[in-house]
Amino acid sequence: MRGNLFAVAVDLVVLTVRSGALHVLLVRRTAPPFAGSPALPGGFVRPHEDLLDAATRELAEESGVPVPGHHLEQLASYAAPGRDPRGRVLTVGHLALVPDLPLPAAGPEAGSWHAVAGRATAEPLAFDHDRILADGVERARAKLEYTTLAASFCPPELTVAQLRGVYEAVWGRPLDPRNFQRKVTSTDGFLVPTGRTVSGARGRPAQLFRRGPATALHPPMLRGES
């Protein structure tokens, strides 16, 4: 039976929107296997932890991102033979959506933000992390269609233009500003007016909103729509 035992790990797809593009947090591994290679933040589950405990700890330790107030969910499990040269390791991927935050403090495996759009021609990630990243990005894109999670990428107070920028960055396509504003402001409980405005570079001041109590979009906002 010992030959069938698995070690259990967690790996994190931490996504944010910065400079108008979707970014992922990566670390540079300092220990074998794959020493020197970029990788998703993650690590082994400790004996006293459940999966969410481990993911929460790794998110805070390796990315400097505090979990309270940010979205963290389980993504999928990965246990293909040979995915880890050290032996049979089952990893449970987690997806975190966070607003643009300062880079984590410097350290041996300090994280840095990388544009998702450039990953196709970039240095391969360690283990099977390219697959986990692709699954995480697709999950985020799909969830923006039928949930209000796009606001997780924004500060507590946001404008409709900021929210539209999230959709455009995650989906990788422009959206019609008028249609978008009509959809998000007519969805009950998505955005709640604060009664304040913010001055833009030109034009009238933009209205400030905060995220409302709604969690689902009815009807969904599909990627193929304008």
Q: What is the pLDDT of residues 52-103, one digit of tens each?
A: 999 999 888 876 766 666 899 999 999 999 999 999 999 999 999 999 876 6
Residue 211: which of 140, 148, 164, 162 has the closest Cα?
148
Q: Judge whether 2-145 and 147-211 match in fold.
A: no
∠ Cα 220 75 23 (to 5°): 75
Residue 223: which of 181, 187, 170 has the closest Cα?
170
pLDDT lower than 50: segments of the chain: 1
User: Hey, where are the domains in the chain?
Assistant: 2-145, 147-211
Q: Residue 178 has what pLDDT?
A: 95
Burial of 148: CB neighbours in 10 Å, binned 0-12, 13-18, 19+: buried
Residue 25: which of 150, 109, 139 has the closest Cα?
109
**Architecture of domain 2-145 in this structure:** Alpha-Beta Complex (3.90)
Q: Residue 219 has what pLDDT?
A: 87
State the DSSP string of 49-111. --HHHHHHHHHHHHH----TTSEEEEEEEE--TTSSTTS-EEEEEEEEE----PPPPP-TT--
- The answer to whether residues 209 and 184 touch, using CB atoms and an 8 Å cutoff, is no
Q: Residue 1 has what pLDDT?
A: 34
Bond preceding residue 219 cis, omega within 30 of 0: yes
Q: Residue 148 has what pLDDT?
A: 96
CATH label, 147-211, candidates 1.10.10.10, 1.10.1040.10, 3.20.20.210, 1.10.3720.10? 1.10.10.10
